[in-house]
Amino acid sequence: MVKRDKGKTVSLGRDCRLSSPSLSNSLIKGITSTGINVIDIGIVSTPILYFSLFNMDVNGGVMLTASHNPGDY
């Protein structure tokens, strides 16, 4: 993203599963290690993350979710 699109910042949303905060922290560390900034928008629905792509100063977004899987995932 940085090389191809000159992107610098992504928004990151997550679901409300118990594992989401620790997974989110690890993902943020990984993304920022590549030189990309992360704006953590917290627990949001996928449509809200999509909304952030057009209403925040970001170049992309990541939704951390287990989607349709049972709550223990």
Catalytic residue set: 67
Instruction: Give the chain as a 3 state SS string.
Output: CHHHHCCCEEEEEECCCCCHHHHHHHHHHHHHCCCCEEEEEEECCHHHHHHHHHHCCCCEEEEECCCCCCCCC
